[in-house]
Homo-oligomer: A and B are copies of this chain.
Amino acid sequence: MKLYDHPRAPSPRRVRIFLAEKGLEVPRETVSIEDGGQLQPAFLARNPAGTVPLLELDDGTRIGESIAICRYFEALQPQPSLFGQGAVEQATVEMWNRRVEFDLLLAVFAAVRNAHPAFAGRALPGPVPVDQLPALAERSRGIAERMCDWLDRHLAGQRFLAGERFSVADISLLVGLDFARVGKLRLTEGRPQLLRWHTEVSARPSATA
């Protein structure tokens, strides 16, 4: 088994944190995104989406998409559960993970990729050039800010996003908040509950994975 990885990109970090929480070690190979390694024919043959992370199993099966990779490991080793146990908790984790993905993580990605000079002509991942839309960057910053207002209220009532147990939704939020700094978005400022949550989750050993 091999995990195609990158030490600074946000999506591979989600998988590394997930693995660290499970206490799993997986052989990793860094794809040199700096040199466009994820868009070279050799890698595109493995993952036509042109994205890392990608998990390759020994029989050649390939799993792309961070959360799909995480689900593979959840099924292999259910404990500690990071997708929830039982119907209600599983649904609650899925709900908060999706809310955080759509209105925070993807919004932060859009805010950074449509504005930062490093992503000129690459506003979306993948092999096809996509022009930046500065108006979308601005709109996305607003979406992320409003989502964090909601999360700040939500976290006033509970320790983690989906309740009293740490879950994959917390991983998505941590990666989103930290990557937001690339776009000079300091989303915990003025949001005491979100800051309390961020401080606690950042102190977990997995945060540095």
By a beta-carbon cutoff of 8 Å, the part of chain A in contact with chain B is 48-49, 55, 57, 61, 63-65, 67-69, 71-73, 75-76, 86-88, 90-92, 94-95, 98-99, 124, 128, 130-131, 133, 135-136, 139, 143, 146, 150
Instruction: Point out the residues of chain B lying under 8 angstroms from A90, CB to CB.
Output: 71-72, 75
Smallest CB-CB A-B distances: 9 pairs: A75-B87, A72-B91, A68-B95, A68-B94, A65-B98, A65-B95, A63-B91, A68-B91, A71-B94
Dominant secondary structure of chain A at its interface with chain B = helix
**Copies of this chain, count:** 2
**A76, B87: Cβ atoms closer than 8 Å:** yes
Pick the residue among B48, B61, B71, B86 that contacts A75 (CB under 8 A).
Answer: B86
Some 27 contacts from A to B, beta carbons below 8 A apart, are A57-B88, A63-B91, A63-B95, A65-B95, A65-B98, A65-B99, A67-B94, A68-B91, A68-B92, A68-B94, A71-B87, A71-B91, A71-B94, A72-B88, A72-B90, A72-B91, A73-B87, A75-B86, A75-B90, A76-B87, A124-B143, A130-B139, A130-B143, A133-B135, A133-B136, A133-B139, A136-B136
